[in-house]
Amino acid sequence: MPPKTSNRDEFSKQTKAILEKRAGGVCSNPDCKVFTSSAHTNPEKSSSIGVAAHICAAASGGPRFDSFMSENARISVGNGIWLCQSCSKLIDTDAAQFPVALLQAWKASAEDTSQKRIGQKSVSESEHRSEVMFAYGKGMLAHSNGKASDPTALKSAIKGHERSLSDVDPRFEVSLRSYQDGNSIYEIVPKPGAVSMIDLLLLNTPSVTNKVRLLREYGKSTELPPESYTMVIHPKNN
């Protein structure tokens, strides 16, 4: 270990690089997930907005500092989380809001995602939507006459299908999110200004309560069976 120049237990260059790669080069905050590096205009350089942040602070008095932790544990990969600059500031500004268990859950989830993503294509949201439409279109064709058709015609057919679903209740916009194994998953989003509030009355069962807790505490997306909730929509009074 090189000699310490301050009382902070800093991560080595190698530890930082490992943290970045384990997170897949993406901020580990589930509400953020921005990419943290890019090409620089100087062809010899790269740009980064990523930070290897300490879960338990690098020095006594810092956020989530653990005096029982050894120096080796404090500078290990296990005590780091890869974040963007703003999220790294956020977790240290009000440490009580971002306890060790929450940051470890973020890290585990980001690493789980990076493991699933390796070797997969990286696509933007609009590219993803276009691919979903294409897959859905192929599925529709398979159920019809099986003849090949041009993708533009398919896209407009799907858009028309979404529009007719949106017309069922003009307060909501319906769009196709994914198409897998013959099942279409739709996203239903209230149109701006159309709805003032949506109440979700949930069934009080351990399974529902646990899913909602994960959603509220860790921002984990969740799926609830239709019999587990009642939705009350409050229209906007104009």
Q: Of 27, 75, 133, 174, which one interacts with Zn ion (CB under 5 A)? A: 27
Per-residue binding letters, 1-20, with Zn ion (x by CB under 5 A) = --------------------
Q: Does residue 87 touch Zn ion according to CB under 5 A?
A: yes
Least distance in Å: CB of 22 to Zn ion?
Answer: 16
CB nearer to Zn ion: give 28 or 79: 28
DSSP string, 66-79: -TTS-HHHHTSGGG
Least distance in Å: CB of 186 to Zn ion?
Answer: 29
- Cα separation, 161 vs 86, whole angstroms: 40
Alpha carbon 211 to chain centroid distance?
Answer: 16
Q: Of 29, 82, 107, 132, which one interacts with Zn ion (CB under 5 A)? A: 29
Strands 50-54 and 46-48: unpaired
Q: Does residue 84 touch Zn ion according to CB under 5 A?
A: yes
CB atoms within 10 A of CB 27: 25
What 8-state DSSP symbol labels residue 105?
Answer: H
Least distance in Å: CB of 34 to Zn ion?
Answer: 5
CB nearer to Zn ion: give 27 or 56: 27
CB nearer to Zn ion: give 32 or 69: 32
Site for Zn ion in 126-165 (CB under 5 A): none
DSSP string, 28-97: --TTT--B-EEE-SSTT-EEE-EEEEESS-SSTTSTT--TTS-HHHHTSGGGEEEEEHHHHHHHHHTGGG
Name the residues that contact Zn ion, by CB under 5 A. Answer: 27, 29, 32, 84, 87
